[in-house]
Structure 1
Amino acid sequence: MSSHQSILTETNMRTIGLIGGMSWESSVEYYRIINQGVRARLGPLRSAPLLLYSVDFGPVEQAQHAGRWHDASAILCDAARRLQAGGAEAIVLCTNTMHLLAGDITAAVPLPFLHIADPVARTARQQGLRTVGLLGTAFTMRQPFLRALLEAQALAVLVPPEEEQDALHDIIYAELCAGIVRAASRDVYRRAIDALAARGAQAVILGCTEISLLLQQEHSALPLLDSTLLHAQAAIDFILDGEG
């Protein structure tokens, strides 16, 4: 048997299907983190078996802001079906906001769905946290689809006041999703974190996959729970589960 055939025989990794493009700026981070994690665990020439379906964010964003969630659902469920047809063994939705439609996706395909809230809540519990701040899009901060799952894990979740939410939301869509990173916008986020700390937050969840493009731990007095990183690490665990 050739060494190439031996490698194929010995690889027991599972294939993840990534629904990305919302925005692709953060989808790149998923691809990077997952592959770096597999390489770190298995060796310098190893990489992750991944399928990526990257949607056109324009129609999704329009549907979000118009409240046409059924249209956005159709796009994501189609993506999930395509990934299943391509051989994906689980679905990772590379965005916090669109987890509002997690139920639609799980109904559309009979594959494990790695929910972004699960590794975030698990990490918060491991760190002994009781009260956390949540930053993200206005959809994520105002609607219960993410908060409720965190609160079900005995976490108190604080969000900024609505006027501040609007400013944070605008930075995500007008700047970070377009690959624009500005120091002035980082200061807006830092002030929001300071205000959450003053209200009792022990840590802050970066509940939008773009925020970590702008804000790292060095910029925050509070510990940061980066949902992108934690979600990608959960994907690595799933991929390598068969490797023993």
Structure 2
Amino acid sequence: MNKIGIIGGIGPESTIEYYRLLIKTFRERLNTNQYPEILIQSVDMTEMLNYVFTNQLDELVAFLKSKIKILEKSNVDYIALASNTPHLVFDKLAESVNTKMISIVEETSNAIKTTGIKKVGLLGTKSTMSKGFYQKSGEKNGIKIVIPNEENQNYIHEKYMGELVFNKIVPETKKQLIRIINELQVNENIEGIVLGGTELPLILEQEDFDKLKVFNTTKIHVNAILNKMLN
């Protein structure tokens, strides 16, 4: 069984969900009462996001690389970043470390492709929505990824960083997020929605939508991590 290392704490609430889902899915897949061994290096989210939101991308790579080196000293076989936002520099980071990495973006694009869906919406932090790394991955798989307008992006980002990161679930916020997604469905004819923030599944789920396919990036990433672990 391969050893998995996870860069967590970005944010803490979704890292808890990663840990819970990894254990639950591991036990279900193997029909066992045992538990997987997982190494989690929890980082300072505030410092990391400062590099992201001030566009200090070289500093972001250096910061994440230094944390990955800690996991590499434990001889992990694969590493995953338990967050969508830092995948902004995933390619450059993956080239600079010695251990294979599991991309939440690539795994999500692959998951969309298997459904045959060709056009989806994307929600997440402002950087995740606007920096194009999801769109680039989607294009490789023949998938068009669209995002809300500037006003709605700002609203999503504000609620994400001010509420969801702290697992603060506000009914009005959920109502507005569903409104934004429904507007994308009407205006862009999307067939699915990517919850491109690992805290978004705390407030949105498949049951909130009748026709749209919801892509929960946390669950997709967890399944990919377990595939590598059990390979």
Q: Bin the TM-score by the shorter chain.
A: over 0.9
- Assess if the C-alpha contact under 8 Å between 1:14 and 1:49 holds in 2: no
Q: After superposition, what is the alpha-carbon deviation per residue over 1:135-165, rounded to whole angstroms, capped at 9, x for unaligned?
A: 1111011111221011111001111001100
- Is 1:240 aligned to residue 230 of structure 2? yes
- Assess if the C-alpha contact under 8 Å between 1:120 and 1:225 holds in 2: yes
Q: How does 1:16-95 map to 2 (within 5 A)?
A: 16-95=4-83
Matched residue, 2:183: 195
- Is 1:117 aligned to residue 105 of structure 2? yes
Q: Share of identical aligned residues, percent?
A: 28
Q: After superposition, what is the alpha-carbon deviation per residue over 1:174-215, rounded to whole angstroms, capped at 9, x for unaligned?
A: 111122111111111101110111121000000111100111
Cα distance in 2 between the residues matched to 1:123 and 1:197: 20
Number of aligned pairs?
Answer: 229
- Assess if the C-alpha contact under 8 Å between 2:53 and 2:127 holds in 1: no
- Assess if the C-alpha contact under 8 Å between 2:121 and 2:184 holds in 1: yes
- Assess if the C-alpha contact under 8 Å between 2:134 and 2:145 holds in 1: no
Cα distance in 1 between the residues matched to 2:11 and 2:159: 13
Give 5+ residue unaligned stretches, structure 1. Answer: 1-12
Matched residue, 1:224: 214
1:169 to 157, 163, 169: 157
2:194 to 174, 196, 205: 205
Larger-gyration structure (1/2): 1
> What's the TM-score, normalizing by structure 2?
0.95
Cα distance in 1 between the residues matched to 2:145 and 2:85: 16
Matched residue, 1:137: 125
Matched residue, 1:5: none
Matched residue, 1:9: none
Instruction: Describe the SS at the equivalent of 1:44.
Output: coil
1:108 is displaced (CA, Å) by: 2.8
Q: After superposition, what is the alpha-carbon deviation per residue over 1:106-160, rounded to whole angstroms, capped at 9, x for unaligned?
A: 1332211111122211221111101111111110111112210111110011110
- Assess if the C-alpha contact under 8 Å between 2:6 and 2:39 holds in 1: yes
Between 1:177-186 and 1:213-222, the stretch displaced more is 213-222
Residue type at the aligned position of 1:192: I
Instruction: Describe the SS at the equivalent of 2:145.
Output: strand
What value does the CA root-mean-square deviation take over the aligned residues? 1.2
Give 5+ residue unaligned stretches, structure 2. Answer: none
1:59 is displaced (CA, Å) by: 1.2
Alpha-carbon spacing, 1:64–1:118, altered in 2? closer, same or farther (3 Å) = closer
Matched residue, 2:84: 96
> What's the TM-score, normalizing by structure 1?
0.90
